[in-house]
Amino acid sequence: MKCKVTVLDGQKSSEFYVDSGTNLQKAILENGLQINAPCGGRGTCGNCKAFVSGNVSDITNIERKKLTEEEIQSAARLACQTFVMGDATVHIEQKKSAHIQIEGLDYQVDLSPLVRRINISLPAVSLENCKDDTERIIQSIGEKKLKFIPEALSKISNVINGEDQDLVVTCTDDFIIDIGTKLKETSDYGFAVDIGTTTVVGYLVNLVSGKIEDTISEINDQTYYGADVLSRVSYGKENPDGNEILHTKLVEQLSRMLKKIVDKKGISKENICCMSFAGNTIMMHFLMGLNPFRISVSPFTPVTTASLICSAQDLGIEYHPKCLVYLLPSISGYVGADITAGMLACSLTDKDKIQLIVDIGTNGEMVLSKNGELLSCSVAAGPAFDKTISPLVPISTIS
């Protein structure tokens, strides 16, 4: 039997239908609505409180521990402990989103983007100059080791006509990935994203000047499946397609944020030459669609900590699928690519100084450097200090 669920959130009202016996919190999340679930639906944080009328399962002892007698009288429930048994109406009240710190000190970095645009003038073919198109293009660029990817090859037939032509070639270190007639004078941009457990911050970087021209920040859409990484790992383990859902939520959010910043800036997505992503190791796993479960149990083994260059499409980022993407390397299961990025930005490999990086986020990490030697460790932070959540066992690793 299908049950009608009406969700009221402030001025907004939504309706959807679910099977009898469906978990209320899951139903709300799966229908694109949001409800806080920092503990990942285990009934330990009490943050998914909602006022429910209609045909639902009886209140449990877990809920009685988290709700006051007055709340219970007003029909308050924990959505994660409630099952829809017939038509029901749910009042939820979302907390305002957190303030996200996205500014910091300026620092100088050498620009060396993943992707370069090279302007070339290709002379007309003649009996004396009748080499094939790819060879003439590579000669014009002057880098013999470059190879065409199949898609760039396909474009040549449409672009090159054998006459004198001004062309713009898009290359990585090793490959020619695109070719076209000369663009109007527009800038090339990169989109660099810090994927935090709680917040996702994207930076639109001018790849010619190196300046950050715009930023965008949002609460990580995965937050509704658990506030800390371990809650999300257990959501991934305990729910069918759980990891797939968390992966999809993240890449859809990245896709949406890229579109927003591109639209706001008034540029075309083709102006975005490349993207780079950093985050903790578990976020990097969700991003790549990898199962992070073994990071959560001893001896805390990631699938990979290596860097990766691939297309946005390979990750499932559909808004700009052909865009080249760089995923920074992580260090261990609990010292992630965000720390690698920080070490790079702060020149932590500088041998003349003793330096310490401290990153206190949802997880906390430190890296100490001396004489080019680096020592890192990590510990649960953020929600571990939230009085509404029973403290997690701190996990620390030394790499």
Site of interaction with a second copy (CB under 8 A):
125-127, 129-135, 147-151, 153-154, 156-158, 160, 162, 288-291, 294, 298-306, 308, 310, 314-315, 332-333
Is 230 or 288 the residue whose CB approaches a second copy more closely? 288
Where does residue 349 fall: left (phi above 0), alpha (psi -120 to 50 degrees), or beta otherwise? alpha
The amino acid occupying position 14 is S
Is 128 or 185 the residue whose CB approaches a second copy more closely? 128
Check if the beta carbon of residue 282 is closer than 8 Å to that of residue 275.
no
Check if the beta carbon of residue 174 is closer than 8 Å to that of residue 114.
no
Is 206 or 399 the residue whose CB approaches a second copy more closely? 399
The least CB distance from residue 295 to a second copy, in Å, is 9
The amino acid occupying position 72 is I
Residue 113: other Cβ atoms inside 10 A: 19
Q: Which residues pair with 379 in a beta bridge?
A: 364
Is 134 or 355 the residue whose CB approaches a second copy more closely? 134
Is 62 or 125 the residue whose CB approaches a second copy more closely? 125
Check if the beta carbon of residue 140 is closer than 8 Å to that of residue 121.
yes
Is 276 or 332 the residue whose CB approaches a second copy more closely? 332
The least CB distance from residue 7 to a second copy, in Å, is 34
How does 174-213 read in b/e, with b if 16+ C-beta sit within 10 Å?
ebbbbbeeeeeeeebbbbbbbbbbbbbbbbbbbbeeeeee
The least CB distance from residue 182 to a second copy, in Å, is 20
The least CB distance from residue 240 to a second copy, in Å, is 15
The least CB distance from residue 299 to a second copy, in Å, is 4
The least CB distance from residue 245 to a second copy, in Å, is 15
